[in-house]
Chains A and B, each alone.
Chain A
Amino acid sequence: MMKAKTRRRFLEQTLFWLFRIATYLVLAAATYIFLDIGIKGGRTVFTSKPPFVNLEFLSQPPQTLYVFDFEGKKMTLGDREFRQWKVQHPGVEVEASSVAYSAGGIWPCIVGTALLVIGSMVLALGIGISSAIYLSEYSRNGPLIRLVRIAILNLAGVPSIVFGLFGFGLFVIFFGWNVSLIAGWFTLGLMVLPAIITASEESLRAVPQGLREGSLALGASKWQTIRKNVLPYALPGILTSSILGIARVAGETAPIMFTAAYAMKDEMPWQVAKFTDFFFQGVMALPYHIYVVSSKIPQNEYTQRVQYGAAFVFLFLVMLIALTSIVLRERSRSRLSW
């Protein structure tokens, strides 16, 4: 009897330790990724001298890097510096090997990603909140609404590349928008729409029925009730959960690969001839840039700077957004009670 009990206890402890190890293995793997990219990317992004941040990397467009031997020294110069150097050293013939994208910085990519995120979130929030209001406040539970709900539920699981394919077929080709910001906005917006609708509807439903009934009893119309007595209380919840949508929009590469992103573009997005051209231009985007620099150029000491630097900045931005959303949610969970 005693023996059986100790054996059982031993088995229990062993298995619990296995569970514990599995859990911490996951945490350790993620931590390793954060540390590896943090340390190696940190070398690019931070400097030991004031202002401690590598402003050149954050504020310059990408350039081609030239590597050559000169008077026994190994020189690595960016495209522009290399041309200057050639002017300064007339008559010197050097055999320079070039590595694309490996000099300069990632400024246009940061701008492009910011534009894509802002535009698509405005679209998704606009459409998403409207349809959530319709679904939770106006619609009756008929077969059509059930179909809409099933569609929303299932669209949430559709792979992002399929959204990219859809956006390419519809916006880029059928509407003739070409590879452009606006095509990217719509594609990304559609991609997060299911998540936003679900979250918004949940927040709207969490507003107690009494608030609506009180307002209606005082003679307010339905829309007045929604605008004054439902939306203000639901909005914090809606925004909190849509921050996670922002992280998803910013983090996705596949949908923008052939709808909005260029591998290289010389002008900044605001350098356009006409106002309308702004919407119909492709942009550089940080995730696509990371894809390009990690797949199209080799892995070596010259390319590592840009590869890890871009990955670091991108990871940092997305994680910051995700962290905000997690913290806000934890807070609202403990605070919100009707």
Chain B
Amino acid sequence: MFQIAASLAPFDQFASGFSDTAENLHGLVSDLTEQASALKEQLFARAELLAQRDQLERSGDHDGAQKIVVPEVDRAAALLALHQGAGRFESISAEMTAQLYSLLAAAPSLPDPAEQKSFDQWKITTRDYLAALPIASKKLREWSADEPIPWYRSISSFLFGREWVTASFWQDWYGIIPLLVGSILVSIVALLIAVPLGVASAIYVSEVASVHEKRLIKPYIEFISAIPSVVLGFFGIAVVGQAIRAASQSSWFSWISFFPISERLNIFTAGCLLALMAVPTIFTLAEDALRNVPRGFKEASYALGANRLQTIARVLVPASLSGIVSAILLGLGRVIGETMVVLLCAGNRIAIPDFSQGLGAVFQPVHTMTGIIAQEMGEVVRGSTHYRALFMVGLVLFTITLGINYLAQKFVARYRMSIG
């Protein structure tokens, strides 16, 4: 024990020396952050007072408006002070770079070859970082608060932004990626459950079931499609989420690495319920497609000596395949646009799930595009960036569903052609 500690002592010293070099930089960053937030707050307060005065002025209360004192904010001076930070950064980073290079040169070696290898790798990364510091310094010098943000930057930061942060004291971010990933994951889970069930029951009802069964099952599944989504969502909160968590805690599933799960409302819960919404859509359309395959196809297959399964697998399903695919696409359209179930059951945590757990990512809470609109639209300040970002999310959603619809129609057209 002591021996290990002793052998690691030089490394420990190295590590603490390493972190000490960054102290000045940390100090600078926190100083500048403070300055910048103070300026931002002053500007906000001023804007608010101005708006107040404007409102009083408009309602005819001149005296009240005159009473509001709007403080002047010396924006230019504050920005100049911020800019001087660039000079300080340069000297501090130069100092830090020199220290770090000398530290790296005298870095201790590690006993384990594998560790030594990764340590060497890390040293290379550190050198890369140090080499990039002058570029950062140049960027700081060139930075200007008055430089307009080009339109393509705002679009790309919306479409590829990995953060959706609102009502933050420092900086709001409106990146759609976490919401998009949430919507897609929930839809994938829902379709993985709904497609086998929907297609299997469509085949069963159209080819296997007796007439009596058919007359009962078909209206019943159509009936399921009328269950209001908010009731399904409530059922998810009250029953399904709890049941899934309880199941994950049981000893039967203890061999699964990511069980037991901590959140009762997650992608899987929402996906299960959405599957139940997608099944009727997939079932109805797929059954239609199967039923519309001309009788002659089936009869020819039987006449050649095929049994029922062979006829289904080799003739009926291939003949109606594009119809079935369009049924699945329309099911996807229904799932991705569904709001209440995901709002109630997906957990509403705005974050990209941690995929390092493999399949366990499916048991993490997410937020979705539909959910975020429903949740935040009611409280948003009208005309603000946040408000517009929500409309943009709606636009993306609209485009996605239009695309899905278009594809489904394409497939239906092909299906019509294939069966003449």
- A residues bordering B, Cβ < 8 Å? 8-9, 11-12, 15-16, 18-20, 22-23, 25-27, 29-30, 33, 36-37, 153-154, 157-162, 164-166, 168-169, 173, 244, 247, 250-254, 257-258, 287-288, 290-291, 294-295, 299, 304, 307-308, 311, 314-315, 318-319, 321-323, 326, 330
CB atoms of A295 and B228 under 8 A apart:
no
Asked if B161 is an interface residue, CB under 8 A from chain A, the answer is no
A213 → chain B closest CB, angstroms: 29
Asked if B337 is an interface residue, CB under 8 A from chain A, the answer is yes
Number of interface residues of B (CB under 8 A): 63
Q: List residues of chain B with CB within 8 A of the CB of A304.
A: 238
- B residues bordering A, Cβ < 8 Å? 196-198, 200-201, 203-205, 208-209, 217, 219-224, 226-235, 237-239, 276, 279, 283, 307-309, 330, 333, 336-340, 343-344, 370, 373-374, 377-378, 382, 390-391, 394, 397-398, 401-402, 404-406, 408-409
- Pick the contact of A37: B235, B237, B330, B373 (CB < 8 A): B235
Knowing A16-B309, A37-B231, A314-B228 touch, does A169 contact B409 (C-beta < 8 A)? no
- Pick the contact of B220: A27, A37, A244, A257 (CB < 8 A): A27
The answer for the CA separation of A157 and B340 in the assembled complex, in Å, is 17
CB atoms of A161 and B397 under 8 A apart:
yes
CB atoms of A159 and B401 under 8 A apart:
yes
Knowing A33-B232, A161-B397, A165-B373 touch, does A16 contact B226 (C-beta < 8 A)? no
Complex: chain A residue closest to B283, CB-CB:
A26
CB atoms of A299 and B237 under 8 A apart:
yes
- Pick the contact of B228: A16, A161, A164, A287 (CB < 8 A): A287
Q: List 30 A-B contacts (CB under 8 A).
A: A16-B309, A23-B200, A26-B198, A30-B220, A154-B402, A157-B401, A157-B402, A158-B398, A158-B401, A159-B336, A159-B338, A159-B370, A160-B339, A161-B370, A161-B374, A165-B394, A173-B382, A251-B229, A253-B339, A257-B374, A257-B378, A290-B230, A291-B233, A291-B344, A294-B234, A294-B238, A294-B344, A311-B235, A319-B223, A326-B222
- Pick the contact of A307: B200, B222, B234 (CB < 8 A): B234
Q: List residues of chain B with CB within 8 A of the CB of A16.
A: 204, 208, 308-309
The answer for the CA separation of A205 and B55 in the assembled complex, in Å, is 58
Q: List residues of chain B with CB within 8 A of the CB of A295.
A: 237, 343-344
CB atoms of B402 and A258 under 8 A apart:
no
B67 → chain A closest CB, angstroms: 30
Complex: chain B residue closest to A34, CB-CB:
B227
Knowing A157-B330, A258-B378 touch, does A22 contact B204 (C-beta < 8 A)? yes
Q: List residues of chain A with CB within 8 A of the CB of B239.
A: 36
B172 → chain A closest CB, angstroms: 20
- Pick the contact of A294: B224, B233, B307, B308 (CB < 8 A): B233
CB atoms of A33 and B394 under 8 A apart:
no
Complex: chain A residue closest to B219, CB-CB:
A326
Q: List residues of chain A with CB within 8 A of the CB of B208.
A: 16, 19-20
CB atoms of A318 and B228 under 8 A apart:
yes
